[in-house]
Amino acid sequence: MELIINGLSKTYANGVQALKNVTLTIKQGMFGLLGPNGAGKSSLMRTIATLQEADSGSITLGNIDVLRQKEEVRKILGYLPQEFGVYPKVSAEDLLTHFAVLKGIANRRERNEVVKALLHKTNLYHVRNKNLGGYSGGMKQRFGIAQALLADPKLIIVDEPTAGLDPAERNRFLNLLSEIGENTIVILSTHIVDDVKELCSDMAIINKGEVLYKGSPADAIASVQGRVWQKRIAKSELDTYRQMHTVISDRLIAGTPIIHVLADFQPEGFAPVEADLEDVYFAKIFGSIVQNAAS
């Protein structure tokens, strides 16, 4: 089964064009959707999840017309939005059972077995009777995935799932997503480059509603390999270097900026550096900003 998005556009009532002719084909496995806040990721995810209408374009999931057959999509969709609220005074087992009823798992014995299996899968069984208000951020996210996995979905969407998680919880959550992605289409929408680099075999970069790159992380890195250079500079020199070079990132190390620039030939005073996905991400985002400013 494939998810095929073709020419999708969406403009909100306030005039913001959230999606501009987005075209993507997403196959089974983990697919990373990278972009800064406000890039259009959540708008795209909400449209795929049948939570908002598109102005134009089409989305098909197998033989289902997503924009017209919303109920059919919802039967095989698991969705973990960026803001996932829980009832703080309800236990995980009780709330997951309630969600299972809403998903149409009517047989009580089957429902109990499904809930038990999902609590084990998300490593929450030992705290199944604990109220969700006492869960950590990572535990709540794992509960969110448990509810998204009800009724054996063919498509799972997770929107910014690791934001705010500590490193240990993030690793647990990413391992769980990786396991799920072996047999399902999983779309991971995030602004955290490492999440995509570690998990996804296919990805897209989106900014201001437009797809800037579609392909594998390895191919993305290869496209800038040998063209990324770095230099340690004084803070006062940063603006000057931005005027002289295509500065794609800068970070403070021990209080001093180290900049990465994109150039076909080695700039004077710069050293070559092994490119990574973060360099690709910033190069694409920076390039789109420059083009928008010039147009």
Residue 132 · residue 142 · CB < 8 Å = no
Say whether pLDDT at 290 is over 50. Answer: no
pLDDT attached to residue 20 = 97
Mean pLDDT, range 224-238, rounded to an integer: 93
> What mean pLDDT do residues 48-54 have?
95
Q: Which residues contact 62 (CB under 8 A, 6 or more apart)?
A: 1, 2, 154
Specify the 3-state DSSP secondary structure of 13.
Answer: coil
Higher-confidence residue of 102 and 186: namely 186
Q: Is the pLDDT of residue 56 over 70?
A: yes
Q: Is the pLDDT of residue 294 over 60?
A: no
Higher pLDDT, 168 or 16: 16
Residue 67 has pLDDT above 50, yes or no: yes
State what percent of residues in the chain have pLDDT above 90. Answer: 67
Q: Is the pTM of this model over 0.85?
A: yes
Main-chain phi, psi angles of 170, to 5 degrees: -60, -45
What would the mean pLDDT of 81-110 be, rounded to a whole number? 88
- pLDDT surpasses 80 at 286: no
Tokens of 235: 């803070």
Name the class of domain 3-215.
alpha beta
Confidence at 34, pLDDT banded by 50, 70, 90: very high
Q: Is the pLDDT of residue 104 over 90?
A: no
Mean pLDDT of 81-100: 87
Region 244-256 average pLDDT: 89
Token readout for 131 is 């109220």
Three-class SS state of 188 = strand
Residue ranges of domains in the chain = 3-215, 222-294
Task: Report pLDDT for 291.
Answer: 39
Is 50 a residue whose pLDDT tops 80? yes
Model pLDDT, residue 154: 93
